[in-house]
Amino acid sequence: MGKEKAPVADRYARFMLRHRWAVIFGIFAFAIAGAFYIKDVNLRNDPDSLLPLTNRYIATNLYAERQYGMGNIMVWGFKLRQGDIFQPWFVQMLDDFYKDASKLAFANEENFIGLPSSRMRHLGLSKDGGLDFKRLIPASGLSADAKVREQQIRFLKQGIQTHPVLEPLLVYYEDAQGNKCNLVDKNGVLSNQSVAHAHEECTARATFIIGDFSNGLKNHYLDWIKSVHELQARYEQRYGDRVEFIVSGEPYFLAAMVEEIRDKAWLFGISLLIVLLVLWYEFQHWNCSVFPLLGVGITIVLTLGLMGFTQFKLTTMMVLTPMLLLAIGIGHAMQVTRRFTQELQRNPHDVDQAAYEAIRHTIVPASLSIGTDLHGFFAISFVDISFYKAYAYFGIFGMSTLILTTTTLIPLLMTIVPPKLGSREAREKPWETSLGSAVTALLTGKWKWIPLALVAAVVWASAHYAELGRGVSALLAGEEGRSDPEVARIQDEFDIMPGAEKGINYPRAAFKDHYLLGELFGNGEVQEISDLDKFSQMMPGAITANMIIRSKAGVLPPCGSDARDEEDNRIIGPDKCYDDMEDPPQGIYNDVSVLKALSDFEDWLRKYPHVGYSTSYIQFLKTINMMLNTPAGEAPMKHMNLFAVPTHKHMMANRYAYADQEDPDYLPDPTEIVQLYNAMLVSSSGPGELDSFVNTSTWDEGVIISFINTMDPVETHQTVVDIQNYLQQHANDPGMDKVIVGIQAGEKIPVGTGGKSIITEESIPDAKAAIGGFLGITEATRDVAFAEWLHAPAMTSMTVFAMTAIMFRSWYIAFLLISLCFITLMTQYGLAGYMTSIKEWSANLAFHVQVALSIAMGLGIDYGVYMVSRLREEMQVTKGEWRQALQNTVQSTGAAVVISVVVLLGSVIPLMNTKLANTWSVSLYVAEALILDVLLALLFLPLVVRWLKPKYIFAEKS
Amino acid sequence: MALAGKLLYMIIRTLCVSILLLFFSQAWALKAPPYPQGELNGQQIAEQVYAVSHGLLVRNAVSKQHGKDIAVLVNRAPLERRKNGRRPIVNTFETYGNSHPQSPELDSMQMAIIKSGKAKGTGILFVSYADENKPGIMSVWLPALRKIRRINEPSYEDTWVGTNLTYGELVLRKPEDETHELLRSDVFQDCLPVMTLGPKEVSRYTRKLPDSQCGHKGKAVYVVKSTTKFKNWWYDYHISEIDKKTFAIYRTVYYKAGKKIKTIVIDWQSLDQEDPRIQYPRYIYAITHDSGVDSMVYVPRSTIQLNQDLPDAFWSEATLKKFGKR
């Protein structure tokens, strides 16, 4: 192989030297051009764009956001340190904060909700007995007159405490011991007892403001979050001694991640410093330290420039790419620099010859090494997840440029500014010699079983935490075992390692709960997570689940102007088109049986333990029914039994409310009632306002939104399964038999603004309902993780196996090397199992972590490749003296491998000290794998080679 | 989660604004001022405008279906929510206004009946009292329930029948709620815009909507700036162009923090009465500039009758039931 490739390498080296100035200027020119595009890097950090849009969950969520809005919800919490929320100064502060928050950039003011909202009205009776709907807090704020102000506060308290829908959402009650007092009972129902307990024995300790923002903020995260911080700081400064301010929400989370990257950019400088120190230690020359950094720096600039130029939508996880390029690039840079200095030692006055030899000798192994590195990226480029693709595309690009920026550029620069060498460069360092001696002694002496035992122990521990045994047992249990739902699940999902949870807790995948750097400087608590935890405890739910309800039958198109002649006579009949002013109403939301079925579904949802709250158009109907049918002069809240869809059965059971005094036998027609309510609602709401709940054009589709009170990956998955099972079990109930829930496979869904659309694929087994909202995204992410956790590493291992087999022309060696990769992979699954066992949801085997499996495999194989190549070389040099060959290999290549991994760890350790969980977890998995790869390459591989005696290495002796 | 709040808000507003058209009178204890003479200041102009727009100059006024002509209200969703082919929401209605009830306790009585669609037959009666401290009472007849419900009067900022207009703008706001400053006299330069519908938005009723009105071009107008006296209000001030002869207000532009937020135009037309101030709003078109939400009310001339011989008892819940019986 070497003889065939040498001429190419020679020609390449000569060509580069001949045109060195053009090459140098060319590389620098591209780097400068790339630098201009760095500012355009689109760090959008938008989770909606991560997953394949064809996935039914994602398509449902996309459809829901497009049709019904409310995609960027923020929550502010205000918890009093003493007393209740019904204090004048607090109400005034709340009112002021509400107004300021609704003026923030990109705020959809009309969707804000809180006690000061104009939507917050008294649902009661006026003195005259009419229904009363005054604002709870006057539009102009509280009065300056103390007496009037007191009356206003009393009215506010009474108003919110008789509000059955908004009180559970907006007010947090706490007992004297600091425990939450729930307004709803264990069945999720507002009962007289539970409400009385909260009102009489607990204190209204906190309230919330919920805001909605437009997508425009995604292009201005940093400015936007700065204004959010400033707003909060202003109020904290004035009221912080009396009020605890809490903030959370999807846009806040995503913006905070981008902000964290900016704020911790100096850590990148620490990485560079570590690398510089290692280079200085290794070469003891400033230009031998600076040129490698310069070369790798150019690669990083080019890669970032390409990101900016292509406007690829990126996430904060992409910060790992420059760090990986730094780590891997420095390894290559060191190889070529070392070779250059060695050649210069031989011919001290011929820098051109040194450069020629350095390029000629390193270009092929560097290309092969980079080739194996690329496999990890290549494999993940086929996964339909945008950040996987981003990793792959920019990783492949960056890695490829290293051939030019390190292996080629560094020797060329050294011909212009050559290092002044002494005699010490030729010698190996003492630690390298010691390493060679110690490892050789261990692997050829009586303690050689220790590495084997350690490897066995690590594999066993990994299998234990990943619960490989339970997975295998479940798979072998066959049909008989399927009565156990968990066994059936393992079989269906081929979850051979059930101990390693593949689902995702999105907030914890974004942020850690504590971080080391913070601990070192005082407070390591991550506020984004602690605030979210507080909200989760205080509010009904932190993430949403959207159920899109559509009809099976569809509706007729509206009649156009051609439906009537000049004299206004209808010429296109009601069988062909629909005239909403004349024809009987169409659409499932005008059908009382459908409304009742949906109401039953929502009642079931509200009782479900992981659903804290729900809302839909059905709540409109039920409330308006209660308000309009409560006997005149009586408070509607005293007739909660009328909070119902007015079916015939309901009206029979509550005849007192529906009977006509002038015609005792009369009961209204349920269909006419709901159609009247629909008409009243649509003609009385602001244009487009009802569209958050129901399609008022067709009345044939709507949405049910529920709030999920858990983010535990196991519980969120169970919630999805249980909702899907409910819908399947009731699919043929009256009313439900007319609807479909969620987007189905094969549907055409518009995406973006340019008229683009996608066709959905069947991504959910048994055609179960697709759920939108963050719960749906979470489930889709879990599905993707299950599809990829074995698949992507398998793809990588296949290509790595093929590559190594071609490189060494030995199936034996390829098999040996890939076996090492599998050991490493097993330990990564074990690590995931351990993280699952301690519920560390920042680092379980969720999809963002899985990307590390393939990347680490591609990078880790290098160490084995280096060792095998060198062992063969040394066996030839020493004429088959295994012990000497091993010692020579370890103290040269082994030492270089150790240095490489030190550089890599030096690069990623700072990265692990931000608050961001995704970069931490990926770094953790990559670092764990590479450390193990190095140990296996040094301590395990030689043992196996010695025992198996592959011809590739032992051929000469035989 | 804001959806929950929105939900309740919708329900509440459904009840408190389900009154249709209070076009022609809403006296609020103010009686018709005489036709003014000489130079006027901003306050005097505002009082004249109030009298014109609140029907103080007639005893009663009716807008009643005449043949196929009927008053129409059209509301369109915000621009971003207008999907391809989405139809505007249309209501047809009749109104009966009484500005001078015989009972001294009463100030005015209004009645409106919805004439088409799913809410057909729904009727609303609004009674306001001479005592300014006594709030008005709204009674709603719900034909599907065969029931009357009473609701307290709406607030100034409540929107009116699903439009982008508020009760304050149309009905409740009085001249003393604002400070009025005459900026200048001018000549009205523009055509009054109308709702422009796409081919897929046109239906049986909307195809009859009028074209842009240019007949007011060249008329002498007052330009008056009116600044609200309410704290934290949805607008800071508005600038209105008012016909110097008829006191018809052709165009009002609202500003908040220096930014134009809403424009309302009204095509006032003569009813050929002796007093030139007695007119009717042939159409009202309002557009909110941020969202593109727009609303239009069209009242065909043939539907209007003035000073009908109707007893006060006509404005009653019994009439609502009679009109709304299914």
Confidence of residue A799 (pLDDT cuts 50, 70, 90): confident
Does B258 touch chain A if contact means CB atoms closer than 8 Å? no
Does residue A50 have a pLDDT over 80?
no
What is the model's pLDDT at position A643? 86
- Cβ(A162)–Cβ(A151) under 8 Å? no
DSSP3 helix / strand / coil % (chain A, rounded to 5):
65, 10, 25
Averaged confidence pLDDT in chain B: 83
Which alpha helices (DSSP H) does chain B contain, by range? 2-16, 42-53, 167, 317-324
Partner-chain residue, chosen from B6, B137, B159, that has the shortest CB–CB distance to A692: B6
Least confident of A45-59, A81-95, A881-895, B208-222: A45-59
Q: pLDDT tens for residues A702-758?
A: 999 888 888 899 999 999 999 999 999 999 999 999 999 999 999 998 887 677 888
What is the model's pLDDT at position B10? 40
Partner-chain residue, chosen from A212, A619, A672, that has the shortest CB–CB distance to B144: A672
Say yes or no for a CB contact (<8 Å) between A123 and B12: yes
Which residues in B lie closer than 8 A to residue A683 (C-beta atoms)?
18, 75, 89, 91, 114, 119, 161-162
Percent of chain B with pLDDT over 70: 88
Say yes or no for a CB contact (<8 Å) between A628 and B75: no
* CB-neighbour burial class of residue A446 (10 A; exposed 0-12, middle 13-18, buried 19+): exposed
Buried residues in A474-494 as b, exposed as e (16+ CB within 10 A): beebeeebeeeeebeebbebe
Does B15 touch chain A if contact means CB atoms closer than 8 Å? yes
Partner-chain residue, chosen from A73, A165, A666, that has the shortest CB–CB distance to B2: A73
| Secondary structure string (H, E, C) spanning A264-292 | CCHHHHHHHHHHHHHHHHHHCCHHHHHHH
ipTM > 0.90, yes or no: no
Distance from CA of A795 to the nearest CA of B (A): 43
Instruction: Give the end-to-end CA distance of chain B in Å, rounded to a whole number.
Output: 39
- Domains in chain A: ranges and CATH: 72-260 (no CATH), 431-466+789-958 (1.20.1640.10), 467-499 (no CATH), 533-560+571-781 (no CATH)
Supply φ then ψ for residue B181, to 5 degrees: -130, 125
- Cβ(B21)–Cβ(B126) under 8 Å? no
More confidently predicted of A7 and B227 = B227
C-alpha count within 13 angstroms, C-beta hemisphere, residue A632: 9
Does residue A14 have a pLDDT over 90?
yes
- Cα separation, A920 vs A912, in Å, equals 4
Among A614, A393, A183, residue whose Cα is nearest residue B1: A614
Distance from CA of B203 to the nearest CA of A (A): 5
More confidently predicted of B63 and A807 = B63
Least confident of A86-100, A436-450, A759-773: A759-773
- Cα separation, A213 vs A455, in Å, equals 53
What is the model's pLDDT at position A209? 92
Say yes or no for a CB contact (<8 Å) between A697 and B86: yes
What is the model's pLDDT at position A897? 85
Tokens of B294: 């727009």
Does B259 touch chain A if contact means CB atoms closer than 8 Å? no
Confidence of residue A685 (pLDDT cuts 50, 70, 90): low
Q: Give one DSSP letter per residue of B263-312, joined into a string.
A: EEEEEEEE---SSTT-EEEEEEEEEETTT--EEEEE--GGGEEES----G
Q: Computed from CA positions of residues A678, A681, A684, A688, in that sequence, does the dihedral angle turn out positive or negative? A: negative
Buried residues in B156-171 as b, exposed as e (16+ CB within 10 A): bbbbbbbbbbbbbbbb
Q: pLDDT tens for residues A188-236?
A: 666 778 888 999 999 999 999 988 888 788 888 999 999 999 999 999 9
What is the model's pLDDT at position A188? 67
Confidence of residue B151 (pLDDT cuts 50, 70, 90): confident
Q: What average pLDDT does the segment A640-657 reach?
A: 93
Q: Give one DSSP letter per residue of A573-601, joined into a string.
A: -TTT-B-TTTSPP-SGGG-HHHHHHHHHH
Q: How many other CB atoms are found less than 10 A from the CB of residue A562?
A: 10
What is the model's pLDDT at position B30? 44
Q: What average pLDDT does the segment A161-183 reach?
A: 85
Which residues in B lie closer than 8 A to residue A120 (C-beta atoms)?
5, 8-9
Which residues in A lie closer than 8 A to residue B81 (C-beta atoms)?
688, 691
A133-142, A248-257, A622-631, B239-248: range with highest mean pLDDT: B239-248
- Cβ(A461)–Cβ(A826) under 8 Å? no
- Domains in chain B: ranges and CATH: 18-324 (2.50.20.10)
Percent of chain B with pLDDT over 90: 37
* Residue A482 CB partners (closer than 8 Å, separation 6+): A488, A491
Distance from CA of B49 to the nearest CA of A (A): 26
Averaged confidence pLDDT in chain A: 87
More confidently predicted of A566 and A4 = A566
- Cβ(A946)–Cβ(A953) under 8 Å? no
Distance from CA of A363 to the nearest CA of B (A): 57
Q: pLDDT tens for residues A284-306?
A: 888 888 999 999 999 999 999 99
Q: Which of B17, B125, B145 is the mutation pick for testing A, counting most A CBs within 10 A? A: B145
Instruction: Give how far Cα A372 sits from Cα of A216, A856, A864, B318, Å.
Output: 41, 11, 11, 88
What is the model's pLDDT at position A353? 92
- Cα separation, B275 vs B256, in Å, equals 36
Partner-chain residue, chosen from A70, A166, A675, that has the shortest CB–CB distance to B118: A675
Q: pLDDT tens for residues A329-383?
A: 888 888 888 888 888 888 888 899 999 998 988 888 788 888 888 877 887 888 7
More confidently predicted of B167 and B193 = B193
Cβ-Cβ pairs closer than 8 A, A with B, add up to 244
Distance from CA of B80 to the nearest CA of A (A): 10
- Cα separation, A693 vs A705, in Å, equals 9
Does residue B173 have a pLDDT over 90?
no
Say yes or no for a CB contact (<8 Å) between A620 and B11: yes
What is the model's pLDDT at position A149? 87
Does residue B294 have a pLDDT over 60?
yes
Confidence of residue A503 (pLDDT cuts 50, 70, 90): very high
